[in-house]
Amino acid sequence: GDSVTQMEGPVTLSEEAFLTINCTYTATGYPSLFWYVQYPGEGLQLLLKATKADDKGSNKGFEATYRKETTSFHLEKGSVQVSDSAVYFCALSDPYNQGGKLIFGQGTELSVKP
Amino acid sequence: SQTIHQWPATLVQPVGSPLSLECTVEGTSNPNLYWYRQAAGRGLQLLFYSVGIGQISSEVPQNLSASRPQDRQFILSSKKLLLSDSGFYLCAWSGDFPSSYEQYFGPGTRLTVT
């Protein structure tokens, strides 16, 4: 079945460092891909999305490009801030095979130190 | 704009007691609705989803149940709580496929079973 694999955390960075969180997926159809962010004690917020190959999703300085050839959707940010400390989830939705349900990765905790 | 509400925000219940968590969505009609549980750690487990009033699909066997008595209301229940039911419960909604299938999450309910 469909699945999402994220890099293990926690990831600890200094403020203004470059961030990459790796995400790869397995899907039989043509999924849409998402990054969600969860701040401590809160629900998940949609950070960005891409619906087809080579699409780039972007929001709040974060970017991710849908790479069909490598089945990847890595999250990047050029300069992280302390306020970016959170858990990041990669997810896919394959409506034709899963009824639109989201398949989540296990989450990657990011801690940014001043 | 659409908003999603969950209550209560936190709940402490003894083993064997009943449970009722409520989720309501405003600003949209006929949403798809979802219940997730996030146990210790960060992984998200889909418990139930609903594509319409009275239509509930269960993803995992357990002592929980869900109901959708109204179009924008989704309720998670249990007759007798177990210690293993402790966790962070998240409700989410999405639009109808294929127009929109990203999910939007509520603030969550923190349940502690003692």
CB of A102 less than 8 A from some CB of B:
yes
Average confidence score pLDDT of chain B: 91
CB proximity under 8 Å: A 23-62 to B: 32, 34, 36, 38, 41-46, 49
> Residue B75, Cα to own-chain centre: how many angstroms?
7
pLDDT in tens, B31-60: 999 999 998 776 888 999 998 899 998 888
* Cis geometry, peptide bond prior to residue A31 (ω within 30 degrees of 0): no
- Which residues lie closer than 8 Å to A71 by C-beta, 6 or more apart? A24, A25, A26, A27
B90–A44: do the CB atoms touch at under 8 Å?
yes
Closest approach of B88 to chain A, Cα-based (Å) = 9
Tens-binned pLDDT, residue by residue, of chain A (114 aa): 889 999 888 999 999 999 999 999 998 878 899 999 999 888 999 999 999 899 999 999 999 999 999 999 999 999 999 999 999 999 998 776 655 688 899 999 999 999
Q: Which residues pair with A86 in a beta bridge?
A: A110
> What is the Cα–Cα distance from B112 to B50, expressed in whole angstroms?
25
Which residue of B lies nearest to A88 if distances are taken between CA atoms?
Answer: B42
| Cβ neighbours for A109, distance < 8 A, ≥ 6 positions apart | A9, A10, A11, A86, A87, A88, B42
How near does any CA of chain A get to the CA of B91, in Å?
A: 9
Burial of A46 from C-beta contacts in 10 A (0-12 / 13-18 / 19+): middle
Is A10 touching B (CB cutoff 8 A)?
Answer: no
